Structure formats: structure tokens, C-alpha cells
Structure 1
Amino acid sequence: MHGTPTAERRSLSQRLDALPFTRKHGKVLGGSGIGWALDAMDVGLISFIIAALAQQWGIDKGQSGLIASIGFAGMAIGASLGGLLADRFGRRQVFAVTLLVYGVATGASALVGGIGLLLVLRFFVGLGLGAELPVASTYVSEFAPARIRGRIIVILEAFWAVGWTAAALIGYFVVPASDDGWRWAFALGAVPAVYALIVRWGLPESPRWLAGRGRTEQAETIVASFESAAASRGGRTAASEPAPAPAPAATPDAGGPAAAPIAISSGGRLAALWSAEFRGRTLSIWVVWFCVNFAYYGAFIWIPSILVDAGFSLVRSFGFTLIITLAQLPGYAVAAWLIEVWGRRLTLSVFLVGSAVSAIVFGTVHAEAAIIASGMALSFFNLGAWGALYAVTPEIYPTSLRATGAGWAAGVGRIASIVAPLLVPVLLIAGGSGLTFSVFAVFFVIAAGAAWGLVDRRGTALDDR
């Protein structure tokens, strides 16, 4: 759609923003969140499986890094394509297909007999996983009321901690239990293939996307169902509550260029990301995504193996990793509260600086208590930063290119997640864990600075051009 939104379309958006949080919002959040948790479980499991295969198959660190990185190569492509497809075909459809793709590929990984086929399947796992995450955050953000939108997206991202904790539990109890433990871990990762069917038929399409495609009758039906849910619980709707302020990007800044129409073709959407209106925030969000991905996946994919190399047994290192993982949940909880109090940029940058400090400490300590404490701090701050990042990313673009913008930011980030697991062995040889985690700290600091190039839409309506 070209130009400014119609009055009818603005009305749909204002009605969505004025709603209280209802059971229907809970269904959208929970349905998307379970898919998010299953994604995290898959990503988390590979770190434990790599450590186990290093002992069973005798693979070296270079091969271990390749197993991790090939999945992230798939994620880079999946994130870029998934956003474009979601802006063209709808959020729900793409969300379900991506879950199906990576669920089937993960289950098939349980049957492999060598590293070659495992690499092929990990690539397809990455394709599905990479496409799902930015689509899910875009989808939920378009239902969330403006005044609590950031908090809801951080809660969605908190499902990642649930999935990663499940991975740590499987890694601790299942993977070391037998020579086939890693195969059973992969088999459990096939659950998303079944869940995809539930998502496909159980969740509504985004009414903002439907309205943007001219399907206003369907959009109206969905919004009306949410209003009915609010009325049944005695909540306020758009008729009784003032609409939120218009999004800043929907009107030109004083003395600045007017907001440009958004193209509806895939090529036009990609070009729009680098138009005068969006190029500053696109560059900033790409830098943040790249740096956070590099530091996060470089650290957390390798932590179990680093602890084994430090002299801890496989089971003991997995136990440490499980404890460290549990600190993710309070990190999300604090970020979910602060993001509507401090705003997106300040919350994101503070948690990134905390991640940098924690990384330096983790890389230099040797006592068990210090390893666990600094690892928990790294989990707390890093995952809180992820929550804020997923909250701010869909908000900086209008509906017509929101999934494209979020998908390409995630895709650029996945380039870093490809490089990091391959670079970690080199850094460990060159300077041990101290140098390795100091490099991660530098990336966190760069991301904290780049966060200030983003727009902060706390409490305001999404731009629906």
C-alpha cells in the first residue's frame, strides 16, 4: 500500500492499541512463545551434543565449530528470506512452515552416522530456525497494546530461557546417559514438527498485515474478536479509551524529510531499509544484531566444551551450564519491567554493558564458585539484552516492511554467529579464555553504543504505513 493509511486502517490499529491484555493476547503470546522455547531448546542442545561427539566420534575443535556454524549459516539465510516471505504471505503461515522445517530436520539428525549428513541437516535446521524468530516477534508485536508492547515482547523472548533450560536438563540427564544419548536429544527436538500444525490452525493472522494487504473484512473480524474478549472480562476497548499517540515515524520531524511511501515488492522493501528515512536505524540495528550474536553464540555454544577443557568432567560441566542457564529467567524479568520504565535504548545498552563486564570476569576466574557466579551474571545481562533487542527491532519499521527489516537484521546477526564458533578455537589457542571473553566484551560494548542510533517507541502506536 502506498501513501498514508486510510481512516479505517488507522481505526483498526487504534482499537488494537487501546485493548487491555486479554486471554486472546495470552493465546498469541503463549502459542508463539512455545515455538520460541522449542527453537531455544534446539540451539541449546547442539552445544551439549558437540561436547559429547567430541568424545564419542573424536571430532576436533575445527569440526565442532563447523557443526555449530553450518546451522547459523542456515539461520542467516532463513532470517533474511523469512522476513520477506512474512511480509508477502502473512506472519502465521511462515511461522508454522518454519517450525515444521526445522522440527523434521532435527528429528532426522538423530539417525545420522557421520559428520557429513549431520552438517547437511544442521543447515536445514538453521533455515527454519532463522526464519521463525524474527517472524514470531513481528507477529506478537502487531497484536500487543502499545502501552505494554515492549514488555510483552520481552516476555516472548523469555520463553528462550525456558527452552534453553530444557536443553540444559536434556544435556545433563539424557546426553551423558548412554552412547545414544545425543540421538535421543535430537529426537526430542522433533516436537516442533507436531506443534507446527497447532500453530497453523490455532492462531489468527495479524490484522495489521491483513489490513495492509486490503483484506480489511478479515482484519475487522479478528479485531472484533479481541474486543469481545476484552468486553467479556470487563476491560476497556477503543470506544472507551483514548487511542495512543501516533508513531513518530508516521509524521515528519520538524525540518526533516517527509516520511516516504513504502513499496510493496520484495525489492522495494529491501531498498526502503536504506532510504533516507530508515538508513540510520537500519545501520544501528544491524551493528547491534551482529555484535550481540557474535558474543552470545561465541560464548554459550562453547561454554560446556571450555569447562571440559578446564578439567571438569562432561557431567560436571553440563551441571555448571545448567546452573548458569537458570539465571536467564530473572534477566528477562528485570528487562521486562525496565523496558517500559527506562525505555528500549537505555535498557538495552545497560544490559549490554553488564554483559561486557560479566564476560571479562568469566574469562579470568578459575574457582568453581566464581565460574558459576560470573557465568550466571553473563546469562542474566546477556539474555535481558536479547529481550530488549527483540522488543525494539520490530518497532523501528512500519507494518509494510516490519518483518523484512527484522528478518534482515537477524540475518546480518547470523553472519556473526557463523563466524564466532569458528573463531573461538583460534582465540582459545592464542590467549585462552581470558582473551576469548575479552573479545566478546568488546563486541558487547560496541553494541551498547550502536543502540543509541535506534528510535525508542515506548508507549506509542506502531507505524502502519
Structure 2
Amino acid sequence: MSTTPPPHTLSAGRSASDAQHPSQDGPLGWLRALGPQGRRAFAGAFGGYALDSYDYFTLPLTMVALAAYFGLDSGQTGLFTTVTLVVSAFGGALAGVFADRVGRVRALMITVVTYAVFTVACGFAPDYGTLLLFRALQGLGFGGEWAVGAVLVAEYTSARHRGRTLGAVQSSWAVGWALAAFVYTLVFSLVDDGLAWRVMFWTGALPALLVVWMRRRVHDAPEAKAVRESGAAKGSFAAILRPAGPSGPGLLRTTVFAALLSTGVQGGYYTLATWIPTYLKTERGLSVVGTGTYLTFLISGAFAGYLTGGRLTDRLGRRPNIWLFALLSVVCVLAYANIPDGANTLLLVLGFPLGFCMSAIFSGFDSYLSELYPTAVRGTGQGFTYNTGRAVGAVFPTLVGYLAGSWGVGGALVFGAIGYGIAALALLGLPETGGRELA
């Protein structure tokens, strides 16, 4: 006998609870609505993504030191990011399938351990080739964590609160980024550059502590577990790539446009996240401490953007939120890259709206992808589309690296604006999912 729950069981129960408990309408109502198990899942996903961010940003923050240590040009340093993101596409897609077949929490722990181990290994790399290999392997875990964690929390959340709940999970990226910037400033102020970049990578062992806690305290949503154990088809690439036909509507169109959306958003984001620290140091002449100060404004804006975007995606809808911040991100990128020399105060001030817009666009992203796919292939669909976009979008930072010699880093940042334009166009092929319950 199938144990698959009837449609809307999860969300119907939550809606009734919302009606009985008006306190869930307050500023933290979304958190109370999760219940004890959901809050632990939220904490696990929040911590995993924050540490994922921390381990990712060890590279952009140490890029200038790495280039000097190994004698690299801008194209070679840009390749670090591209390799990480391309390999992360494979890791993320596989993690999504794994999450559908063996469970969200188990897949999440595997991704965290993977990115932690290979981040630490980067600190021991003796040459450029070895570092490139370890960074690629780090991408296997890095690619899977976000998709798996987002699905885990989405399945504990009602449609009413899903945007702001997953926006709060997304805000942990800014927390990890801030922690990395703080440690970078501290380490590079106390240790010679030739050793400091290694120390930064070694601190990437922190996520191991999270896994120990998750193993005992975090569990999959009961309804999702029931679907997985029912024996129904699940975790299949064929299912999300099947075109419409006599047997059903198919998911191919959704998958293609969702991957294109992901390409644009991440192409824009990783262009900026990878090259702004280098831009501040090399073209603006800022010191380590000065770069850290400017990044503080950018990261503060990012944190506020994640939380604000999460609330707006519940109020405006998924597509309007992404459209709005795609447009604003284009404006901010072009303004930031064209600030005249000597106007560094304006550069400092513009860091906040730039960080705000490039992050707010992500707040509706995880809830949107979760709602586009049914439970049996939700991890697969979200993992595949998000990470395919990450792999294709990875071309953008490399283009900036190779064009930096002739255009300057600031001029080449225009590719970030192009990415956000692609994201806006991709929405034309996708439906609005605001209010959709996860059956």
C-alpha cells in the first residue's frame, strides 16, 4: 500500500495552523510556523549555506596573494572560479538526485563534508595545477549544498511563508561572506601574504562541527520522506527532461527556462563576487583594511537584500520580485563600474545598494525553483537547473579575467549586467508559482 500523502497534506495542515495562531503573522511568524523539526532543519540549512559561502569566498579574497605567490595572470586566476563553478554543476545535479533517493539531510551532510575537506586541502597545494584540482573537487560539495538545503526547508514551509523563510536561509550567504571578510582582514594583517592565503583555506574545516550536530538533530519533512519511501519514481534526470506528450505535460520546458534563469542570475552574481575584491585593491588602490571596509558596505547591503527580497517575493510574487531586482542590479553594476577616479567615497556608498540588489534577486529564487517541481523530483530539478546555470554562468568571471588587461576590471564588470538581462528574459518562459503548495 502506498504511503504517499494525499495532495496538499503538508500545506493544508500548515494553513490551518496559521489560522489558529495569529502570532504567526508577526515579524518572526514564519519561524514559529516551522515547528521544532522545521526550525532545526532551518538551522542546519542556514549554517551549511553560511559555511558554504565562507569556504567559497576564501578564493576571491586571497586571489591577489595567490597570483603573486604562483606568478599568475588575470586569466589564470579567473579560471579558478570557472573550474569551481563548472564542477559544482555536476556535484549539484548529483546531490539533487541523491536527495530524492536517500533523503535531504543525508545528502546535505555529504555536501558539507566534501566542500570542507577540499577547502582545507587547497591550503596545502604546492603549485597552481594542484590548487586548481583541489578547488575543482571543492566544487562538488559546494554545488550541492544550496539546492539540497533549500528543498529541505521548503518542504517544512507553507506557501504563505515560503519566500521569507527561504530568503532568510539565503541571507546566511552574506553571514558567511562577512565572516570570510573578517577573517581575511585579520589573517592578512597578522601573517605574511605567502602564508596567509594557506591559513585562510585551512580555516575551511569549520563545517565539520555542523555535520556532527546535524547527524543527530535534523530530519527530513515527514511528507517528503513518505514520498521517497513509497516506491514511486524519483530522482530521475529523464523525468525533468521529458517533453510534453500523450503521457503528460512534461517538465522539459520548465527545466530549460529555469536553467536559463539560473545562468543569468549567477553569471551576474559571480562576476561581481569574484572580481570586486581585486577591483578594489588593484584599480582603486585600497589596502587590505580598506578593501575590508568597502566590502562591509557591500555585504551589509547583501544581508538586507536577502531579507527584504524574501518578504517581497511573498507580497509581489516570484516573477515580479526577480524582474524588479534584475533591472535594479543592471543599473547598480553600470553605476559602480563607472565611478570616476578619486570618487572612492561614492564607491563606498554605492556598495550598499549594489549588494542589496544582487542579493535580493536570489531571495525568491530558491522558493521559485522548489515550486516548479513535484516532490518526487524536486531535489533533482532544483539541483540540475541551479547548477547548470552556475556552470554556464561561470564563463562570465573568466571573460572578465581575460578582458581585464585591455578593458580594466571595472570595464569588464559589464558582463554582470548582461547576466541580469538574460535572467529577466528567461522569466518569459516560466509560470508564476506564488501561493502554490508543495503536494
2:118–2:138 Cα contact (<8 Å) kept? yes
Instruction: Give me the whole-angstrom Cα distance separating, in 1, the residues matched to 2:364 and 2:392.
Output: 19
* Offset at residue 415 of structure 1 (A): 1.5
1:137 aligns with 2:150: yes
What CA RMSD, in Å, does the superposition of the two structures yield over aligned residues?
2.3
Alpha-carbon distance between aligned partners in 1 of 2:5 and 2:283, rounded to the nearest angstrom: 63
Larger displacement relative to structure 2 (12-21 or 337-346): 12-21
Q: How far apart, CA to CA, are the structure 1 residues paired with 2:413 and 2:307? A: 25
**Aligned partners of 1:106 and 1:125 also within 8 Å:** yes
Distance 1:71 1:340, change over 3 A: same
Cα separation, 2, equivalents of 1:290 and 1:415: 8
Cα distance in 1 for partners of 2:412, 2:394 equals 16
Matched residue, 1:358: 332
TM-score by length of 1: 0.84
| The one of 196, 212, 215 aligned to 1:200 | 215
Q: Which residue in 2 is equivalent to 1:225?
A: none
Structure 2 partner of 1:403: 379
- 1:106–1:189: 8 Å Cα contact kept in structure 2? yes
Look up the match of 2:281. Answer: 308
User: 1:15 pairs with 4, 10, 13, which one?
Assistant: 13
User: Which stretch shows the higher mean deviation, 178-187 or 79-88?
Assistant: 178-187
Residue in 2 aligned with 1:99? 112
Superposed CA deviations along residues 58-78 of structure 1, whole A, max 9, x for unmatched, are: 322122112222211221111
CA distance in 1, matches of 2:125, 2:244: 43
Q: Report what 2:271 is aligned to.
A: 298
Provide the identity percentage: 29
Partner of 2:316: helix, strand, or coil? coil
SS in structure 2 at match of 1:174: helix
Greater alpha carbon shift after TM alignment, 50-59 vs 119-128 = 50-59
Q: List runs of 5+ in structure 1 lacking aligned partners.
A: 217-261
SS class of match (2:436): coil
- Cα distance in structure 2, aligned partners of 1:400 and 1:7: 12
Corresponding residue of 2:234: 264
Cα distance in structure 2, aligned partners of 1:351 and 1:8: 37
**3-state SS of 2:200 partner:** helix
Q: 1:319 to 1:52 in 2, by over 3 A?
A: farther
Aligned to 1:221: none
Higher deviation after alignment, 61-70 or 140-149: 61-70
Between the aligned partners of 1:200 and 1:451, the Cα distance in structure 2 is 38
1:183 has 2:159 as partner: no
Q: Look up the match of 1:237.
A: none
1:401-422 superposed Cα distances (whole Å, 9 cap, x missing partner):
1111101111211223431222
Cα 1:273–1:150 shift into 2, 3 Å = farther
Partner of 1:459: 435
* Counterpart contact for 1:285–1:454, Cα < 8 Å: yes
Other-structure match for 2:27: none
The residue identity in structure 2 corresponding to 1:304 is P
| Offset of residue 7 of structure 1 | 6.0
Q: Which of 159, 182, 190 is residue 169 of structure 1 equivalent to?
A: 182
Tell me if 1:212 matches 2:185: no
Query: What's the TM-score, normalizing by structure 2?
Result: 0.88
- Deviation of 1:30 after TM superposition, in Å, equals 1.5
- Relative to 1, partners in 2 of residues 1:450 and 1:115: Cα closer, same or farther, differing over 3 Å? same
Q: Distance in 2 between matches of 1:34 and 1:175?
A: 25
Tell me the residue number matched to 1:258. none
| Partners of 2:98 and 2:44 in 1: CA distance | 20
Amino acid at match of 1:325: I
Following superposition, the deviation at residue 456 of structure 1 comes to 2.5
Moved more, 268-277 or 173-182: 268-277
